[in-house]
């Protein structure tokens, strides 16, 4: 069996921020009634953290849960564990109205590090990236230039972007251009 390969094989760029493809990442889409106690308990068991409320990201010792919509979460775990964790979650929720799908190979993830992280994102996203509008660990589903993306900050200098794998090269190019050292605006720094 072949080993998983990330979309851009670990591409990196150093500019106003460091833009790096995060590599292979386990991702599981979970759709269902997010108010259901059994589903909430299963997610908390999956991540080892509290259930994420609307638009939030909850990270624990064994995974993360990203609130994507009123009936959808994206669960992150190690790529190697994703197939087994997906099957285990599907079994746990077998009596519930829920859909569990392992989508690790369908998405790409980028990490941005540096003091200008909000400014770089603001150049590409129509969503407000100001600290008061996008607190740490609050998720935005938005556009990144011309492609759909999910964006959140895990701290004031670190952002994460998830997009479809098929547009990873485009997203990386846009992030590189917005991060070019000659493009500093210094508005959100």
- The two tokens of residue 92 are 């746990």
Residue 89 pLDDT class (50, 70, 90 cuts): very high
CB 179 within 8 A of CB 120: yes
CA distance 64 to 62: 7
Task: Label residue 121 exposed, middle or buried (CB < 10 Å: 0-12, 13-18, 19+).
Answer: buried
Q: Each residue of 94-105: pLDDT tens digit?
A: 999 999 999 999
* Percentage, residues of the chain above pLDDT 70: 98
Residue 177 pLDDT class (50, 70, 90 cuts): very high
Q: According to CATH, where is 3.30.1360.120 located in the chain? A: 12-23+106-180
How many angstroms separate the Cα of 120 from the Cα of each of 128, 136, 144, 152?
Answer: 12, 16, 11, 13
Tell the CATH superfamily of the 12-23+106-180 domain.
Answer: Probable tRNA modification gtpase trme; domain 1 (3.30.1360.120)
Residue 106 pLDDT class (50, 70, 90 cuts): very high
CA distance 184 to 174: 15
Q: Which pairs from 9-15 meet CB under 8 Å and 24+ separation?
A: 11/172, 13/172, 13/175, 13/176, 13/179, 15/176, 15/179, 15/180, 15/181, 15/183
Q: Each residue of 137-156: pLDDT tens digit?
A: 999 999 999 999 999 999 99
Q: What is the DSSP letter of 181?
A: G
Q: Each residue of 5-30: pLDDT tens digit?
A: 999 999 999 999 999 999 999 999 99
Q: According to CATH, where is 3.30.70.1520 located in the chain? A: 26-105
- CA 113, chain centre distance (Å): 15
Does pLDDT of 189 surpass 90?
A: no
CB 86 within 8 A of CB 98: no
- Render the burial of 60-80: b for 16+ CB within 10 Å, e for the rest: eeebbbbbbeeeebbbbbebe
CATH assignment of 26-105?
3.30.70.1520
Q: How many residues does the chain have?
A: 189
Does pLDDT of 1 surpass 60?
A: no
Question: Of 37, 68, 59, which Cα lies nearest the Cα of 139?
Answer: 68
């Amino acid at each position: 069996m072949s080993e998983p390969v990330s979309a851009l094989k670990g591409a990196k760029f150093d500019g106003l921020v460091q833009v790096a493809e995060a590599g292979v990442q386990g991702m599981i889409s979970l759709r269902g009634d997010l108010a259901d106690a059994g589903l909430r308990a299963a997610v908390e068991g999956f991540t080892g953290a509290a259930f994420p409320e609307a638009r939030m990201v909850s990270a624990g010792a064994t995974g993360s849960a990203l609130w994507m919509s009123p009936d959808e979460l994206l669960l992150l775990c190690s790529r190697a564990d994703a197939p087994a964790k997906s099957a285990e979650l599907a079994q746990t929720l077998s009596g519930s109205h829920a859909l569990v799908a392992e989508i690790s190979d369908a998405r790409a993830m980028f990490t941005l590090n540096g003091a200008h992280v909000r400014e770089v994102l603001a150049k590409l996203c129509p969503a407000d990236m100001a600290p008061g509008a996008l607190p740490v660990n609050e998720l935005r589903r938005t556009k990144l230039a011309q492609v759909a993306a999910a964006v959140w900050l895990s701290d004031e200098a670190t952002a994460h972007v998830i997009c479809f794998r098929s547009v990873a090269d485009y997203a990386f190019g846009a992030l590189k251009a917005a991060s070019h050292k000659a493009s500093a605006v210094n508005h959100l720094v």
